[in-house]
A = this chain, B = another copy of it.
Amino acid sequence: MSQKQILLAERPSGKPTAETFRYTEVPVPSPESGQVLIRTLYLSVDPYMRGRMNEGKSYVAPFELNQPISGGVVGEIVEANGSKLKKGDFVIGNLPWQEYSVAGENEVRQIDPSLAPIQAYLGILGMPGLTAYFGLLDIGKPKEGETVVVSGAAGAVGSIVGQLAKIKGARVVGIAGSDEKISYLIDELGFDAAINYKTQNVGKALEEACPNGVDVYYDNVGGEISEAVHKLLNKFARIPVCGAISTYNSDGKDVGPRIESTLIKSSVLMQGFVVGDFSSRFSEGARELGGWLKEGRLKYEETIVEGFENIPQAFLGLFEGTNLGKQLVKVADPSS
């Protein structure tokens, strides 16, 4: 039996394109002892994957040329050859972009489909949720009455950041890229203000939306949008630096005003992080997020593209800002 697989065909220079990817057919592998065969149901496409397409050191190892791209996958066990997991169980893991994968029992984690839809484990209860949780609460430390600005606000991470900041009693201002997203942030998620960076003058709009300046800037995008926020930072402001999607395709030519003078002027803390820095506390984060979700205090959206063959398109869409909330690809329906 053969299956589809997507390889990294070339390292993109600048923006990835359809040529970055190559489809191939490979045999469905068989699980050895202690292993399981997993059918890919949902698969996550994420901005950080762009970094892995470059050669050289990033915070995760680069993808190899002519090898499958990999990422977060929710799947179903179709063949079990171990002692813990059984056929029909749902799991999450870091797996290749292919229809079926083999993994060791301990390389994947079982998830509970009764708590939330299985794909939520790629979003609000998974990496995006934990990234929002630790970046905002451990680095940003918003206090009641402070102003929190989040860029990439309608994305998987940003939309949770804003809601967590509201739970903590802050004034929340989001920056996003379409009027649909702006309405979503204000009307659905309860943001106090939101700015469309594609149609508004971000600097001016921010000044209006942040009459008391900015205390926490949760940065998902970098670049000129961040520059505009930096101008409004209050004394002792904090900037969790989570992503720089505006620059991921810039091919090393990402220049702008140097930040040092701004940091000194207002005694600002800026801290880069990846969710893995907090891995010892994932259970704490998931428990808290799960609690707020249950209480109806956290909402989330998914943008789901259907079909294995549309994975590259879903990934490329991240850089056009077409997704609302977590961008997923649905590869197959569960059998049960």
Show the binding face of A for B, using Cβ within 8 Å.
57-59, 219, 222-223, 226, 236, 241-244, 247, 252, 254-274, 277
Decide if B223 touches A258 in the complex (CB within 8 Å): yes
A254 smallest CB distance to B (angstroms): 5
- Of B242, B257, B262, B269, the residue contacting A264 (CB under 8 A) is B242
Q: Given A254-B257, A271-B270, decide whether A265 and B59 contact each other with a Cβ distance below 8 A.
A: yes
Q: Given A57-B265, A265-B58, A267-B59, decide whether A260 and B244 contact each other with a Cβ distance below 8 A.
A: yes
Instruction: Please give the count of copies of this chain that the complex contains.
Output: 2
* Chain B residue with Cβ nearest A243: B264
- Of B254, B274, B277, the residue contacting A261 (CB under 8 A) is B254
What residues of B have a CB within 8 angstroms of the CB of A257 in the complex? Answer: 252, 254-255
A295 smallest CB distance to B (angstroms): 31
What residues of B have a CB within 8 angstroms of the CB of A262 in the complex? Answer: 272
Decide if A273 touches B264 in the complex (CB within 8 Å): yes
Q: How far is the CA of A91 from the CA of B255 in the complex (A)?
A: 47
Decide if B260 touches A258 in the complex (CB within 8 Å): no
What residues of B have a CB within 8 angstroms of the CB of A58 in the complex? Answer: 265
Decide if A272 touches B266 in the complex (CB within 8 Å): yes
Which of A223, A252, A255, A263 has most B Cβ within 10 Å? A263
- Of B256, B263, B266, the residue contacting A270 (CB under 8 A) is B263
- Of B236, B254, B269, the residue contacting A258 (CB under 8 A) is B254
* Chain B residue with Cβ nearest A259: B259
